[in-house]
Structure 1
């Protein structure tokens, strides 16, 4: 019966809160409060909380799968710089405040460092729901949370030394050796044994075997780390990182994902179930005063530390709003401290209530952080991995213009390497099989990694004029021998690109506008061949005007622009035939301004050919 209530309450609350924009986390928490402390439908929440913690374990495993060891190493400054600074200085500041409230330094240290830890489950779930895991502020928040998970181990180890009348002095070298040995064993097994084992199991063709193997890896690594004194989440994370290079990574993620979602939801419900409303009732004024004060102090400190480590104002605000709460590891620390008589159990219950309320307020704090910097949008960042890059054509930018151009090249059998700085665009393009890489065309190292020295031609198809100009200038300066074909924003931009010495430029709307005009002529009854030649005449005059502007300035050739109905007017008589117009012109000994030779066959659905270059010449360079 309790299982049905948990599932039903989670489904209803999660769906309702998601629909009103508050997120599933707050919905699960609210469901737990209703079913437990308020109406007593479910009695004990602590055992459910222990099961729900497996959701955090699975979440860290999936995050580890997305992080290769090389990328984790590149984040070392954030993890051991920003993360260490946040834990140490925030813990010391809160310890000082606790001592001011009358606690001794031992109790104050447990309270200060326990409250300094944020909620990994809440923070990562909110980032994932918003699709912000790979943004700059998402990566900074993850780095802090990862170091906090590491910090739990020495904090728990310090509790016996802080307990009154403790006779435990000295260092437990056996325990240290066990911890180091467990990490080494996990690294060795992950590097040398897991991939061969998964290969053997995959050949069996039994899906349930692969599912069982995935669960075994996650839970086995988590329990090994727990036995060594680390958190289970840390063990699962290490296992995920070790399998990030595996060819079975996607199958592992697909197998674990359903368990991760279900158990993480159960964890948030269990937090609500474990809330002691009697403690809140007796101390509600104190809790209501201390919880917002705690979150403000933490947010302010995290903001300052983030700025000190080079983050922008917007990133620092988002990180501080996301991590202003205290986390689930506080429950463990405060319970252990109460058991060691560092402070009374009533104090532990009060602290747990403050932690729980701060977790409940996290979606609100995150929303406020987002509203403060609403005008600032962050680009999602992916790993720059250029394995297999390098081909005849390097395309920079893959918006709608580049997508069509790439299809033309690929249809002719010409290989194309594409780079783009939009993670969402890369994910969407990858689903269709395009060979596309994450990277900025504004960086020389990215261009070299993408194979620009192998390319015979570079197609710059970026959206913004400023970005295009910077890419062109960089390539002309560093790679002068490569052919540059560039998408131009407008006429003035096309002229500036010609001045930069590009081999070919095309305004993004010219050919579509000409095709649109031709279709409009046909709607008025103009013969298809005649409409085609009228458009060709407009194109020819436009190109001639561009050459004149290139030589004499932007305002040259204004008389070449057709701004009124042409006289003599070819459309006075309804539906004149092409043969009649040509016959009349021959009899008068004149040539119509649109008579440029035999009519060419119109290719429907394809843009008209503009200024052309011989691609064979480009390939022979």
Structure 2
């Protein structure tokens, strides 16, 4: 495609995407369905502006890779270890039992055993790209069903590695001897192990030091460049040794999750992730052969629905056996009822090695795409089933299953924008009152000193809405801005006001006029520190001069009340050196 064709295609695609997303979001189906609808319209089935859906999908799968990286940033190793039963218990049983059951069905309808095995395992995998954004948007990733779904999806991402490895082994017989094949396998295992060890060492010891060096030199552009280089470098490293790119970025994110820079890293990666995931969903729509669908609509829909129903039943009973409870089991099973993007990858490899014919491959892609399109509807059914199956509350106490549905993270915490002298003082007061807080600062040495004391302080620009989001601003009780310069404070207020209008924001100001500007910009209250120090000093002077403490406090309160109205009435004070012009 030349530059003129690219511009034409992009213009039409963006126009249709905006209309489709606006419509689907308005009727409550969300943006994902809109992206897929846009892909169908520009694809070969409708307008036929472009037929490069499969190539675009392969490129846009980098969005899934970045998605796994950001999930890794939230998944510290100890948290992953605490989920081992979900990942290697529930996840492993889902892949093996569902895959073998589907393979049996495919074998019963006439597929060769090797094609049936790959087909069953590929259809058993669910869609990370669809499910995790839905859980993230609803804030349910840390709920019991969110954790269980993530555990299953994570094992599926791990399972794609051996599944891709066995495709050439069970395809047409190789001309190499068994000893040569064994040597090749051992070499591949050794190569993969070395790559994993190198990634762990680099992510644990090299990258954090380089990020620290760049922050000390205040080189934020190089900081962002190093972050993206590390993410795509880890993906390339894993891909070069035959492992999943998503596995590499997930490990990188998990190893950086304890870093004081993780919120800023997430803010850098998130725009790329959102763009590539949108392209991925558009590419899924472009890959759907609507003409094939209209040749046998009843058959295609029936197979897709039977596939979803079968996967739901198997995972539901597995979850029940492992003690997840009816409500959680139903929500997880329904939410993961679709097939996923790794099915495209696995079937593409099978097609390349002659395990699948062209007609079978196209039909499988259409069925997978159709089940993925139904994911938002499955999410709604999942929520409904969870509500219906949740045990009733008994007396003042919640049932165990209902208690577990509460996310474990702290809520009603305070966000401190800046951790200098003022921020540190407020943080110590919050700690004394046992009120949780999270603080952000752009001074790496200050952040490092605070973290060495075990404080919840991170490197990050709070003027970035993505940093605010990663700091849990949606669950915060209030926010305190302690920046010294007015430009930084106004930038933060703008970022907060754009999305979180109801959040109480308290700002530090230098002068009374500056405090007024901050309130106009959205601050709930702005305190001019020079004025407050003057009033406090005045109280001390009054007491030293013989005024009773109560009288000194009354006079100070008189000048402080109603936005310092008594001081505003005095022109000499209002325009004095303490309050600006």
Shorter-normalised TM range: 0.5 to 0.7
2:84 equivalent to 1:81: no
Residue number in structure 1 paired with 2:121: 113
Q: How far 1:342 sits from its partner (Å)?
A: 1.6
Are 2:412 and 2:476, in contact at CA under 8 Å, matched by a contact in 1?
no
CA distance in 1, matches of 2:427, 2:100: 60
Residue number in structure 1 paired with 2:9: 2
Q: 1:430 to 1:221 in 2, by over 3 A?
A: farther
Residue number in structure 2 paired with 1:336: 349
Question: RCO higher in 1 or 2 (8 Å CA, sep ≥ 6)?
Answer: 2
Are 1:321 and 1:368, in contact at CA under 8 Å, matched by a contact in 2?
yes
Are 2:99 and 2:122, in contact at CA under 8 Å, matched by a contact in 1?
yes
Q: List alignment gaps of at least 5 residues for structure 2.
A: 1-7, 391-401, 414-425, 438-470, 482-553, 559-581
- TM-score of the superposed pair, with normalisation by structure 2: 0.67
Are 1:410 and 1:416, in contact at CA under 8 Å, matched by a contact in 2?
no
Residue number in structure 2 paired with 1:509: none
Residue number in structure 1 paired with 2:338: 325
Structure 1, residues 405-454: CA drift from partner, whole Å, max 9, x if none? Answer: xxxx999999211479xx97993137459xxxxxxxxxxxxxxxxxxxxx
Residue number in structure 2 paired with 1:416: 433
Q: CA RMSD in A?
A: 2.9
Matches within 5 A, 1:26-425: 26-36=33-43, 37-167=45-175, 169=178, 170-171=181-182, 172-374=185-387, 376=390, 379-382=405-408, 415-418=432-435
Are 1:71 and 1:383, in contact at CA under 8 Å, matched by a contact in 2?
no
Q: Mean Cα displacement is larger for which, 366-375 or 239-248?
A: 366-375
Matched position secondary structure for 1:38: coil
Q: How far 1:3 sits from its partner (Å)?
A: 2.4
Are 2:430 and 2:436, in contact at CA under 8 Å, matched by a contact in 1?
no
Quick check: which one's helix share is greater? 2
Are 1:398 and 1:425, in contact at CA under 8 Å, matched by a contact in 2?
no
- TM-score of the superposed pair, with normalisation by structure 1: 0.63
2:28 to 11, 15, 21: 21
Q: List alignment gaps of at least 5 residues for structure 1.
A: 385-396, 400-408, 434-600, 605-621
CA distance in 2, matches of 1:318, 1:126: 13
Greater C-alpha radius of gyration: 1
Matched position secondary structure for 1:289: helix
CA distance in 2, matches of 1:47, 1:197: 35
Are 1:23 and 1:129, in contact at CA under 8 Å, matched by a contact in 2?
no
Q: How far 1:131 sits from its partner (Å)?
A: 2.0
Are 1:10 and 1:265, in contact at CA under 8 Å, matched by a contact in 2?
no
Q: 1:413 to 1:39 in 2, by over 3 A?
A: closer
Q: How far 1:363 sits from its partner (Å)?
A: 1.1
CA distance in 2, matches of 1:145, 1:82: 10
Q: 1:262 to 1:425 in 2, by over 3 A?
A: closer
Are 1:25 and 1:126, in contact at CA under 8 Å, matched by a contact in 2?
no
Are 2:412 and 2:475, in contact at CA under 8 Å, matched by a contact in 1?
no
Structure 1, residues 530-574: CA drift from partner, whole Å, max 9, x if none? Answer: xxxxxxxxxxxxxxxxxxxxxxxxxxxxxxxxxxxxxxxxxxxxx
Matched position secondary structure for 1:374: helix
Q: How far 1:204 sits from its partner (Å)?
A: 2.6
Structure 1, residues 484-515: CA drift from partner, whole Å, max 9, x if none? Answer: xxxxxxxxxxxxxxxxxxxxxxxxxxxxxxxx
Residue number in structure 1 paired with 2:543: none
Are 1:132 and 1:380, in contact at CA under 8 Å, matched by a contact in 2?
no
CA distance in 1, matches of 2:53, 2:356: 23
Matched position secondary structure for 1:41: coil
